[in-house]
Amino acid sequence: MSLITITYGVGCDGESIGNQVAEHLGIDFYDNNKLQQMALDLGLTTIDLHQYDEKAPGLLNQLLSSQPKSYLDIMDKVIHQVAEKGNGVIIGHGSPFLLRDFECAFHVKIHAGPVERTKMIMTQQNLEEKSAQLLVKKMDAQQQSFLKYAFNFNVDDPGNYDLIINNKKLSTASVVRIITDSMALEELVECTWDAYQAMERRALLKKIQTAMIHDHIDLSSLNIEIEEDHVVKISGISVSETDKEKIPQILNGVPGVKDCVINVSVWSYPTAG
């Protein structure tokens, strides 16, 4: 089991580190481009994309700016689809927060001081020192603002990570070795059965929610629970008898649902007296 999230600031070489960790462990690497394609495959096509360039690397950021709820719903599904596979290196996108309930995920933060990061940006972007310093400050502010706004996640809180590496004195190869060696530790290899079960239940919940939204079911007044034996319990209020009748049909078409218990009433609109 090697499911790793890597959070880093600009100038920390985090993407290169993540890519090399994935190659060393023989698992998939989920950078922005791959997550974006998964998002398109999973449901971005249900959103009006006429104002966007689907192939642009910044599509997810554009979506966050204009349709934040859609962005959060889709990224939640994308990250949990990765978790369902059980292996992979995920770069950014609030993945430590989205996988906070999945004990088997290993959350890494790559840190470096402003001097080291400025030097790297100067080299990578061919910038003068002052311009590189301003870029580091601007990108840090954007990252903090994004994670706080999207997930109420404090990127600088050490409690959000399992491993924090300051690469001031370490080469990229050394950082990669620290992470890959950590994944061989017995505590991480022996992922608990309860964690797997929790992940499976959450993944099934996401599939059900996606299927119901696709069928235009209003979820705002429905409560969906997944029992340990994959029995689905749905309670609450439906906006119409037609929607209520759709629910068991939708559940029948979702792989993994063993049985269902539905206790849903239909909303009765008050009549004028």
- Kindly report, residue by residue over 89-99, the tens digit of the pLDDT: 999 888 888 88
- The whole-angstrom separation of Cα 264 and Cα 261 is 10
> By C-alpha distance, which of 93, 101, 95, 85 is closest to 28?
85
pLDDT in tens, 115-147: 888 998 999 889 999 999 999 898 888 888 877
Q: Which residue carries 């004990």 as its tokens?
A: 103
d(CA 147, CA 142) in angstroms, rounded, equals 9
- What is the spatial distance between Cα 167 and Cα 155, in angstroms, rounded to a whole number? 17
The CATH fold of domain 194-266: Helix Hairpins (1.10.287)
Give the pLDDT confidence score for residue 55 in this predicted structure: 45
Residue 52 DSSP one-character state? S
Rounded Cα–Cα distance for residues 144 and 220 (Å):
30
What span, in angstroms and rounded, lies between the C-alpha atoms of 130 and 118? 9
Mean pLDDT score of the chain: 82
* pTM: predicted TM-score of the whole model, two decimal places: 0.69
Q: How far apart are CA 40 and CA 70, in angstroms?
A: 12
CATH 3.40.50.300 domain position(s) in the chain: 2-189
Taking every pair of Cα atoms in the chain, the longest distance, rounded to a whole number of angstroms, is: 77
The burial of 166, by beta-carbon neighbours within 10 Å (0-12 exposed, 13-18 middle, 19 or more buried), is given as middle
How many helices (H) does the chain have, and how many strands (E)? 11, 8
Question: Residue with structure tokens 């209003």?
Answer: 218
**C-alpha–C-alpha distance, residues 267 and 70, integer Å:** 26
Q: How many CB atoms lie within 10 A of CB 136?
A: 21
Q: Give 2-26 as a DSSP string.
A: EEEEEEE-TTS-HHHHHHHHHHHHT
Neighbours of 266 (CB within 10 A): 14
In the predicted structure, residue 254 carries a pLDDT above the cut 90: no
pLDDT(53) > 50:
no
Q: Other CB atoms closer than 10 Å to residue 96's CB: what's the count?
A: 25
Residue owning tokens 């089991």: 1
C-alpha 157/C-alpha 259 separation (Å) is: 41
* Token pair 């929610």: residue: 209
What span, in angstroms and rounded, lies between the C-alpha atoms of 249 and 181?
Answer: 48
In this structure, the number of other CB atoms found within 10 A of the CB of residue 249 comes to 9
Three-class SS state of 127? coil
Q: What burial class does residue 237 get, using C-beta atoms within 10 Å of its C-beta: 0-12 exposed, 13-18 middle, 19+ buried? A: middle
Residues carrying CATH 1.10.287.4300, the chain:
194-266
Give the type of residue at 129. E
CATH of domain 2-189: 3.40.50.300
Whether residue 178 is predicted with pLDDT greater than 50 in this model: the reply is yes
pLDDT of 72-90, one tens digit each? 777 777 888 888 787 899 9
